[in-house]
Amino acid sequence: MLASLRVLARRGGDLLFAVTGFCCAKIPRLVNRLFNRSSFDRHMTNPVLIPRAEHCISRDNIDDNALKVLYRLQRAGYRALLVGGSVRDMLLNHVPKDFDIATDAHPEQVKRLFGNCRLIGRRFRLAHVFYGREIVEVATFRGSQDVQDDEDDTSPDHRQSESGRILRDNVYGSIEDDAWRRDFTINALYYDIADYSVVDYVGAMDDIKQRVLRLIGDPATRYREDPVRMLRAVRFAAKLGFSIHPASEQPIYELGHLLADIPPARLYEEILKLFHSGQAVTCLALLRQYGLLKYLFAQTDRALNNDPQGIFSTFLQQALHSTDVRIAEDKPITPAFLFSAMLWRPMTLLYERSMSTQAEQDTGMALNDAMNDVLHIQCTRVSIPRRFSMVVRDIWSLQHRFTYRHGRRVQLLLQHHKFRAAYDFMCLRSHAGELTDDSCEWWT
């Protein structure tokens, strides 16, 4: 019925009121929904189609398993397209990390097609197709929230909190609806395997050419729907070297507090995406610029703001730069090193305060208490899995042992399973000016 109304609306507003079956109270709301889907003035009823000859995407650059999924869905009579980051990255001549697929097939229909498929998620119902350790994610076209009747506002398929955050969204629609529901224009591009064209409903190609990151719809509303979009804006701006459009940038300064509503486990995943993106130094600078760091690492933010000599700031930038270099060189990294660096100064401040207030304070007990307190406070905002928090403790507790230069203690430290991580950490402290002795040179 909604699709028919849209056609009628495009032909002439007067025809809309000839449609029967709707009470007068709902007609104004429906007209408003049809004509005000976005803050853009680009209400594109027909997409821009970029033919194969006019873009750089090739099937040779698409993962073989993703192609298998696309073609099987197509042979079964469904529409299936690559969408999001993979299309964006290939247009920018980057190597995509994942290949996500959008389709008009519902999750249960996808599962019937693929024996190696598992349905996941309650907030967003998705199909994961497994090929060994590789996962191809298949999502059904999302429908507009506005298509629901007022009586259906509490539908189990779509729910929002009082602040506007989406709690569940399993309303399905057309590819056009799906495009307008995505977060940023550059993530709303589709590659159609049927004719090898790129499909653009939201003017994304212009934004890619101008290297601008722009939210689809009213920015404040979209951030309220999912505050994590503010972190995604920071990550994409840093990763792609794009600027954030002023209209999408301004609300970030005002809505950072909404991150308090996000579960700590989800923020942990977002932290890894931010600081393990290969642009951790830039991400930190942008988080501080937009006032978002205090909602992720409150203790770190205070330590950076009270760092008159800049030693902690220098140390942290060197630690994050080291991580960026390791990622560029395809070397292994661990979240434990990230959290060790981010929380180092808050922990030492607490330790020093404890030692200064109790003359007979046991050094080991004071250190243990400081580590416990800092990690506990951090986990109330961003959860840290125990397997990583234990490594954080090892790295911190080994730092004082680098003062040993003689006897069996040296050999015991060298044999410790976290010696290398602790050694790298100690050398970063030395290069930042925190250590004034020759510990890094001696142990090297």
User: At 86, phi and psi to the nearest 5?
Assistant: -65, -40
Closest to 143 (Cα-Cα) out of 93, 179, 195? 179
Tokens of 370: 């400081």
Question: C-alpha distances in angstroms, 267 versus 231, 262, 311, 382, 383?
Answer: 9, 7, 27, 6, 7
Q: Catalytic pick from 104, 169, 178, 183?
A: 183
Yes or no: say if 236 and 265 are a contact pair by the CB < 8 Å rule. no
Closest to 100 (Cα-Cα) out of 89, 91, 116? 89
Q: Catalytic pick from 98, 218, 307, 369?
A: 98
Question: C-alpha distances in angstroms, 118 versus 75, 129, 173, 414?
Answer: 21, 7, 22, 46
Report which secondary-structure segment, H or E, holds 88: helix 85-91
Q: Is 362 assigned a catalytic role?
A: no
Tokens of 109: 């229909």
User: Following DSSP, what letter does each residue of 182-216 receive, concatenated?
Assistant: SSBGGG-EEEETTTTEEEESS-HHHHHHHTEE-BS
d(CA 204, CA 46): 14
Q: Is 373 assigned a catalytic role?
A: no
Secondary structure (3-state) at 235: helix
Q: Is 100 assigned a catalytic role?
A: yes
Residues serving a catalytic function are: 98, 100, 183
